[in-house]
């Protein structure tokens, strides 16, 4: 089967050029000047459109047990929504429950995902119980294609690790080449602020933001960086939201340390004002770290330009407003933490291009090429080049759309971006050569998506 994507502008990290893309089977066969290829079984007219590598969302939580419930997208519904939004790879977090070990955790995540995904997928491991056994199992995880491990300085009693446990895991990561991903918020201090707010009768969603100040993200980020420096482990800060944390990352990067960070669209576009919406509406925006004051956003965009923020992921973790966020009415600490977003990342970051915040090349880099390199998938993923998987998005930069829960495909009853007017729209999506989204709708299937065994980070100094 030969598919020709003709007449478009092919995007890469270095910019844009007019070219045709020939797909044979599941991979890209060739990229050449317009008109050089003959005919094909299927021709996709991309005139006036961008042709870019399929998005890689390196931070999702499908069917995640959290806050007394489960995030509401299954691997099927979540990957179908991803495809609609031009994301052709997700990396989801397998969650080690305290008291359990890593292999059964991995087995469980395979059970949930295998045969159910519409696009390709990989896993990171959440390490929530560090001991001799689990430290040894890290190598087996790497051998099984899971080369990154998320740890938490937040959520005491749930996923939290002490500095000593983090240090030990980092020592192991240094030896094996694995990446430690860090949820950097000082959970011990935050828990005190939460208890004080609740004792003072303050239970509204906005308290979620007020009790998790940006300084405590900055502090934890600095501490994680120092622990990584002492051990020599590569460190990747997840869902960075605060200017204070960004400053710590920038300083570490300037000194040559293997420190990387991602931010998420919600921190670029939403703020604590959304958390403060009346009538419990703010619960829709409860995620950790919390939405910040608006002034942080300018710094985050700058971080994206300077590559101190290398990746944009979504931290997609959807909980329905009606029956799940409701668990925390009157007590913000019981609102399940997380927001939906896997479908909108490419569109929302394209607004950064439209607004002149980032270049087209940075859009592709932060959403596809860098996550591929960061998590050992390059050049199979993240680039339009001969031999790479034919994960391709045809994007209409001039189309207009309005985001809404009425039209999105995520399995959640609200949109955090309700009414957002977007310039640009995904038109056609190929996943390993197969058209899964086109102007006539979704044509993929659950089970098309394959597990991706990943290599180590491809950026280390
Ligand atoms: O609030 C969030 N971010 N929920 C998902 C879990 C995590 O910490 O990434
Ligand atoms: Zn986290
Ligand atoms: Zn710098
Ligand atoms: Zn997360």
Residue 317 covered by a domain = yes
What are the structure tokens assigned to 304, written together? 């994206």
What range does the domain containing 288 cover? 54-374
Q: Are residues 342 and 432 in the same domain?
A: no
Confirm or reject: Cβ of 183 under 6 Å from ligand 1.
yes
Distance between CA atoms of residues 268 and 426, nearest Å = 21
Q: How many domains does the chain have?
A: 2
Q: Are residues 172 and 257 in the same domain?
A: yes
Q: Percent of the chain, pLDDT > 90?
A: 99
Residue 153's pLDDT is 98
Residues whose CB is less than 8 angstroms from the CB of residue 120 and which lie 6 or more positions away in sequence, other chains included: 88, 89, 90, 381, 389, 391, 431, 432, 449, 450, 451, 452
Q: Are residues 144 and 64 in the same domain?
A: yes
* Cβ pair 50, 36 in contact under 8 A: no
Q: Are residues 46 and 58 in the same domain?
A: no
Q: Are residues 247 and 338 in the same domain?
A: yes
Q: Percent of the chain, pLDDT > 70?
A: 100
Q: Are residues 135 and 47 in the same domain?
A: no
Distance 228 CA to ligand 3 centre (A): 18
Mean pLDDT of all residues in the chain?
98
Residue 6 covered by a domain = yes
Please say if the pLDDT value at position 461 is more than 90: no
* Cβ pair 224, 166 in contact under 8 A: yes
User: What region, left, alpha or beta, does residue 430 occupy, with left being phi > 0 and alpha being psi -120 to 50 degrees?
Assistant: beta
Confirm or reject: Cβ of 337 under 6 Å from ligand 1.
yes
Summarize the confidence of residues 298-308 as an average pLDDT: 98
Q: What are the pLDDT digits (tens) for 412-456? A: 999 999 999 999 999 999 999 999 999 999 999 999 999 999 999
Residues in the chain, overall count: 461
Confirm or reject: Cβ of 266 under 6 Å from ligand 1.
no
Summarize the confidence of residues 145-162 as an average pLDDT: 97
Q: To test the ligand 1 pocket, which listed residue (152, 239, 261, 313) has its Cβ within 8 A of the most ligand atoms?
A: 239
Please say if the pLDDT value at position 293 is more than 90: yes
Confirm or reject: Cβ of 288 under 6 Å from ligand 1.
yes
Q: What are the pLDDT digits (tens) for 327-372? A: 999 999 999 999 999 999 999 999 999 999 999 999 999 999 999 9
Q: Are residues 24 and 88 in the same domain?
A: no
Summarize the confidence of residues 118-128 as an average pLDDT: 98
Q: Are residues 114 and 221 in the same domain?
A: yes
Q: Are residues 171 and 232 in the same domain?
A: yes
Q: How confident is the model at residue 56 (pLDDT cuts 50, 70, 90)?
A: very high
Residue 449's pLDDT is 99
Going by alpha carbons, the residue nearest to atom 3 of ligand 1 is: 288
Distance 309 CA to ligand 3 centre (A): 10
Going by alpha carbons, the residue nearest to atom 9 of ligand 1 is: 315
At 373, give phi and psi (nearest 5°).
-70, -40
Q: What are the pLDDT digits (tens) for 164-178? A: 999 999 999 999 999
Residue 449 covered by a domain = no
* Cβ pair 42, 3 in contact under 8 A: yes
Residue 386 covered by a domain = no
Q: What are the pLDDT digits (tens) for 258-276? A: 999 999 999 999 999 999 9
Confirm or reject: Cβ of 449 under 6 Å from ligand 1.
no
Please say if the pLDDT value at position 146 is more than 90: yes
Distance 391 CA to ligand 3 centre (A): 31
Q: Are residues 179 and 152 in the same domain?
A: yes
Going by alpha carbons, the residue nearest to atom 8 of ligand 1 is: 288
Distance between CA atoms of residues 190 and 208, nearest Å = 10
Residue 451 covered by a domain = no
Q: Are residues 31 and 118 in the same domain?
A: no
């Amino acid at each position: 089967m030969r598919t020709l994507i003709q007449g478009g502008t092919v995007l890469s990290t270095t910019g844009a050029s007019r070219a045709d893309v020939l797909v044979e089977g599941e991979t890209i066969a060739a990229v050449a000047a317009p008109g050089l290829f003959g005919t094909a079984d299927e021709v996709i007219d991309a005139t006036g459109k961008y042709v870019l590598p399929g998005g890689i969302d390196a931070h999702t939580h499908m069917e995640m047990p959290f806050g007394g419930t489960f995030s509401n997208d299954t691997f099927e519904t979540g990957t179908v929504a991803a495809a609609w939004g031009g994301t052709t790879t997700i990396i989801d977090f397998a969650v080690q429950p305290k008291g359990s070990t890593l292999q059964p955790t991995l087995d469980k995540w395979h059970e949930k995902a295998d045969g159910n995904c519409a696009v390709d997928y990989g896993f990171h491991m959440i390490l929530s119980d560090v001991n001799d056994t689990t430290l040894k199992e890290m190598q087996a995880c790497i051998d099984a294609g899971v080369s990154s491990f998320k740890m938490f300085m937040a959520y005491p009693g749930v996923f939290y690790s002490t500095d000593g446990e983090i240090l030990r895991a980092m020592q192991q990561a240094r030896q094996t080449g694995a990446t430690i991903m860090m949820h950097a918020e000082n959970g011990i201090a935050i828990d005190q602020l939460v208890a004080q707010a609740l004792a003072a009768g303050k239970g509204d969603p906005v308290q979620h933001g007020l009790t998790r100040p940006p300084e405590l993200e900055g502090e934890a980020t600095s501490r994680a960086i120092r622990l990584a420096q002492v051990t020599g482990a590569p460190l990747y800060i997840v869902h960075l939201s605060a200017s204070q944390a960004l400053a710590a990352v920038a300083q570490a990067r300037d000194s040559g340390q293997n420190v990387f960070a991602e931010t998420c669209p919600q921190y670029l576009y939403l703020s604590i004002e959304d958390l403060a919406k009346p009538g419990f509406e703010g619960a829709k925006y409860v995620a950790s770290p919390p939405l910040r004051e608006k002034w942080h956003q300018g710094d985050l965009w700058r971080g994206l330009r300077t590559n101190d923020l290398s990746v944009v992921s979504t931290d997609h973790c959807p909980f329905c407003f009606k029956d799940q966020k409701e668990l925390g009415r009157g007590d913000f600490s019981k609102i399940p933490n997380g927001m939906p977003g896997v479908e909108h990342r490419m569109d929302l970051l394209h607004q950064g291009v439209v607004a002149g915040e980032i270049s087209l090349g940075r859009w592709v880099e932060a959403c596809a090429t860098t996550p591929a390199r960061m998590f050992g998938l390059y050049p199979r993923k993240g680039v339009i080049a001969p031999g790479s998987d034919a994960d391709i998005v045809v994007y209409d930069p001039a189309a207009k759309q309005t985001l809404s829960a009425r039209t999105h495909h995520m399995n959640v009853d609200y949109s955090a971006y309700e009414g957002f007017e977007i310039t640009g729209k995904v038109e056609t999506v190929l996943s390993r050569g197969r058209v899964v989204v086109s102007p006539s709708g979704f044509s993929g299937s659950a089970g098309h998506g394959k597990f991706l065994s990943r290599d180590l980070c491809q950026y280390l100094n």
